[in-house]
Amino acid sequence: MASIDIRDIHKSYGKIEVLHGVDLTIRDGEFIVLVGPSGCGKSTLLRMIAGLEEVTGGDILIAEKRVNDLAPKDRDIAMVFQSYALYPHMSVAQNMSYSLRLRKTPRERVASAVSAAASKLGLDPFLERRPKALSGGQRQRVAMGRAIVRQPKAFLFDEPLSNLDARLREQMRAEIKKLHGELGATSIYVTHDQIEAMTLADRIVAMHGGVVQQVGSPLDLYDRPANLFVAGFIGSPGMNFIEARYQPGEGSPAARLADGTLVALPHAYALEPDTPVTLGIRPEHVVIGGEGREAAVELIEPTGFGTILHLALHGLPFKVFTTDRKVLNAGNAATISFPPQHLHLFDQEGARVGAV
Amino acid sequence: MRARPLILTLAHRLAILAYILFALFPLFWLLKVSLTPNDLLYSEGVRMWPSRTSFDHFRFVIAHSDFPLFFRNSLIVAGSTALVVTAVASLSGYALSRFAFRAKYWIVALMLLTQMFPLVMLVAPIFRLLSPLGLTNSLTGLVIVYSAFNVPFATFLMQSFFDGIPKDLEEAAKIDGATQFMAFRQIILPLTLPGIAATVGFVFTAAWSELLFALMLISGNEAATFPVGLLSFVSKFSVDFGQMMAAGVLALIPACIFFFLIQRYLVQGLTAGAVKG
Ligand SMILES: Nc1ncnc2c1ncn2[C@@H]1O[C@H](COP(=O)(O)OP(=O)(O)OP(=O)(O)O)[C@@H](O)[C@H]1O
Ligand SMILES: [Mg+2]
């Protein structure tokens, strides 16, 4: 187990720079989840930590030792690939023990490590099978088993669950969380999946365009997104954004929408009067019914647990999520209002604006 | 699958049958002539099977001709060539498939270039090159020439097999603690066995039946390979068809054994189950 330090990491492929200076300190035993849209450089960063990609600039430290020029085999990390990358000509047991055999571990130690990992993952009945005789979920487990048989300094996961169906994914997610609880190993986990990120992470690293946008606990990112990108990326359905202008008022700060109406803000902000801002509110925080503004109902999506209303507010799309089933009969129009404590304010550059 | 109309199935099978008959008929004729005693060869006219068969030709070829020598020479030359070429081509094919290096483009271009010449053009220069080195009239010389001519194609062949193996596998091996070469030898190579078998088979047969260089570079029986040896059954005044065909039948045997041994790898899809299908 070890800490991982990433210092001002740059990565270029030829002339194209895909990582523009990433800084990140991962504590011993921490579970870090990297999220971000496709192509933002998550895999690239992970592969650089693993030693599979060369570092163009900056330093990577594992257990306080600079590893930039170390081959993957000397970094003592384990990785679970999206494709699982099981060795097809080896049995499950051989797949799991390969790393130990390479290290010339005594035979009895190998056998006990493999059987311990196998029973932890429920793989005992399959040890002699080849990977091609396993289901997707079982293969995924073998890939996990291969990572946990030796106790590496850190685990790297690159979208390990994305090839599984929804139910299996849910189950494996819980198992990974349990495993991490038992092993307490430093882990870096790349995913597209919001729920995976929120449920697994000690801290989430949100990336966009090769730049880290925000690092924080899952609830940090949900409650206090640092910028428009994180605000829109975390949460499903995504946050609503409305263009407005800041009005300090006389003790009652507000935002003036395009149609001239005012939205009350929870407190004053350090902004000039009339500064253009973006208001953000999550669909689940919008209140339906009672006093408020009118919006046309365009589509009603019941999800069972709740309902997603697609509205048109002042002609712009706007989403509301509620568990109140009355909205199923909303008809053509609904009244909505924005509780001030749930409003987020972003400036023109998209950065979160804090209270005065 | 829907049942196809009977007539289509029938036509399909008949077409295959016709093709097989066409392809195998020369072999059958080879066997037939080799078993026909000399006195019946010209007297019986064209028949599908002689009225009497004998192994006389085989006996003569094995016991009284230089054929066993030719056979041994061919085995040495084709076997060594296949080994050398496959070893070199699997390494170079792997390099082309996996590494980016500076002269890669030009190396590939040069290798393609070597495949563009009709070999006849090269006979004289190669003779000039080899004779001061004492490599004419020697099996080593033949192995060198055959290897040189087969390596480019075999490299491309092997490259395509390596391309078909997911990169994740060797990356996983490297993370598990293998060096690049160990990952190649323990993970990639076993998965490329079908490709290696195909390459070995291809090179072996090419070297086994090569005539042009063998004829030009070798004089005398000592180092003659069997295609050259076959010509020794053609004398000034007659062609001893019976013995020649018997020698031909014998020459088929190693190729048959060979393909029998490797066919298991040729048909096997070893990579199944490596990555999510
Ligand atoms: N070998 C390469 N050569 C050139 N560009 C590359 C190479 N590998 C990746 N890239 C580029 O680097 C960027 C980051 O890729 P990366 O695979 O890290 O994205 P990602 O965040 O993992 O995306 P995804 O979520 O789709 O897996 C992409 O724009 C990609 O096109
Ligand atoms: Mg990726």
pLDDT tens by residue, A66-123: 999 999 999 999 999 999 999 999 999 999 999 999 999 999 999 999 999 999 899 9
Taking the C-alpha atoms of residue B33 and residue B91, their distance in angstroms, rounded to an integer, is 45
* The two three-digit tokens of residue A91, written as one number: 């049995």
Question: Which residues between 151 and 170 in chain B have a beta carbon less than 8 angstroms from any beta carbon of chain A?
Answer: 166, 168-169
User: Does residue A141 belong to the interface with chain B, where contact is any CB pair within 8 Å?
Assistant: no
B187 in contact with A, Cβ within 8 Å: yes
Instruction: Please give the distance, rounded to the nearest whole angstrom, from the Cα atom of residue A297 to the centre of ligand 2.
Output: 38
pLDDT at A356: 66
Report field, pTM of the whole predicted structure over 0.90: no
Residue range A281-285: mean pLDDT, rounded: 96
Complete edge-to-edge strand list for the sheet that includes strand A307-313: A316-322, A307-313, A287-302, A333-337
d(CA A230, CA A222): 8
CA distance to A45, A354, B205, B222, per residue, from A156 (Å)? 11, 35, 48, 64
pLDDT digits (tens, 9 = 90+) for A266-276: 999 989 999 99
If you search the block for the tokens 């609830």, which residue do you land on?
Answer: A219
pLDDT at B249 over 50: yes
Q: What is the pLDDT of residue A22?
A: 95
Query: With pLDDT > 90 as the criterion, what percentage of chain B qualifies?
Result: 34
Contact (CB<8Å) A131/B179: no
B165/B157 Cα distance (integer angstroms)? 13
What is the dotted CATH code of the domain comprising A4-232? 3.40.50.300
How does residue B42 score in pLDDT terms, banded at 50, 70 and 90?
confident
Q: Is the pLDDT of residue A173 over 50?
A: yes
Closest ligand to residue A158's CA: 2
| Chain A residues in contact with B172 (beta carbon < 8 A) | 79, 81, 85-87, 146
Taking the C-alpha atoms of residue B223 and residue B214, their distance in angstroms, rounded to an integer, is: 9
B139 touches B195 (CB < 8 A): no
Kindly report the CA angle at A49 between A46 and A27, in degrees rounded to 5? 95
Q: Contact A227/A346 with Cβ under 8 angstroms?
A: yes
Cα–Cα dist A273/B65, whole Å: 110
Q: Is the pLDDT of residue A289 over 60?
A: yes
Q: Which range is least confidently modeled, A31-40, B154-163, B266-275? A: B266-275
Whether the predicted pLDDT of B273 surpasses 50: no
For A286, the 3-state DSSP assignment is: coil
Euclidean distance between CA atoms A231 and A239, whole angstroms = 6
Distances (CA, A) of B49 to B29, B32, B54, B240: 9, 6, 12, 19
Distance, in Å, from the CA atom of B18 to the CA atom of B34, rounded to the nearest integer, reads 24
Strand A316-322 and strand A307-313: the pairing is antiparallel
Assess whether the previous peptide bond of A237 is cis (omega < 30° from 0): yes
A102 vs A330, more confident = A102
Do B146 and B81 contact (CB within 8 A), yes or no? yes
Token reading at A189 = 């986990």
Does A102 lie at the interface with B, CB-CB under 8 angstroms?
yes
For residue B274, name the pLDDT band (cuts at 50, 70, 90). Answer: very low
Contacts of B43 (CB under 8 A, 6+ apart): none
d(CA B154, CA B243): 35
Helix (H, G, I), strand (E, B) or coil at B170: helix
The segment with the largest mean pLDDT, out of A212-221, A252-261, B29-38, is A212-221
For residue A60, give the amino acid letter: I
Q: Could you tell me which residue, B231 or A230, shows the higher pLDDT?
A: A230
| Domain ranges (residues) in chain A | 4-232, 237-346
Asked if the C-beta of A63 comes within 8 angstroms of chain B's C-beta atoms, the answer is: no
Q: Is the dihedral of CA A113, A119, A123, A126 positive or negative?
A: positive
Position A268, amino acid:
A
- pLDDT number for residue B268: 55
Query: Position of tokens 């081959």?
Result: A71
Mutate to test the pocket of ligand 1, among A38, A40, A158 (most ligand atoms within 8 A of CB): A40
And the tokens for B226? Answer: 């069997």
**ipTM (interface pTM):** 0.87
Mutate to test the interface with B, among A43, A49, A52, A188 (most CBs of B within 10 A): A52
Contacts for B73 with CB less than 8 Å, ≥ 6 apart: B139, B223, B224, B225, B226
CB A173 within 8 A of CB A199: yes
